[in-house]
Amino acid sequence: QVQLVESGGGLVQAGGSLRLSCAASIRTFNSFVMGWFRQAPGKEREFVAAITWSGSNTDYSDSVKGRFTISRDNAKKTVYLQMNSLKPEDTAVYYCARGGLLSNMALDAFGSWGQGTQVTVSS
């Protein structure tokens, strides 16, 4: 059974930073791509970032590239999302998800979602 627990969300002013964490109870955590998605009110869930099993490769949506950084600690079974230069349009519930095996970053390979953590950026 896969359990993902996000934390680190909150209220921050535009230009500020937050670091999200996702603790995973996946026995083979270091075999999977991990990713972050977000869903703003009235919008569909969208991809934010992903990282391969070893952390050697990452991918970002164009909207966050250069501002957000995804990383992982396989020993702690945790994935992080460092968010800098936050904008009001980054306001959303952020979800952690398990992706495909090893380096498979295909979007349809993501599943096993966490409960989400709210990020609110004020202008």
pLDDT digits (tens, 9 = 90+) for 69-100: 999 999 999 999 999 999 999 999 999 999 99
DSSP annotation string for 52-76: -TTSS-EEE-TTTTTTEEEEEETTT
> Whole-angstrom Cα distance, residue 99 to residue 72?
13
For 7: left if phi > 0, alpha if psi spans -120 to 50, otherwise beta; the answer is beta
* pLDDT at residue number 26: 86
DSSP H or E segment with residue 82: strand 78-83
pLDDT per residue as tens digits for the range 31-57: 999 999 999 999 999 999 999 999 999
* pLDDT at residue number 67: 98
Q: Report the pLDDT averaged over residues 12-40.
A: 96
Residue 100, C-beta contacts closer than 8 angstroms, at least 6 positions apart:
32, 33, 106, 109, 110
Which spans in the chain are helix H? none
* pLDDT at residue number 68: 98
Whether the per-residue pLDDT at 109 is higher than 90: the answer is: yes
Whether the per-residue pLDDT at 2 is higher than 90: the answer is: no
The pLDDT confidence band at residue 115, using thresholds 50, 70 and 90, is very high
pLDDT-above-90 percentage for the chain: 93
* pLDDT at residue number 96: 97
* pLDDT at residue number 45: 96
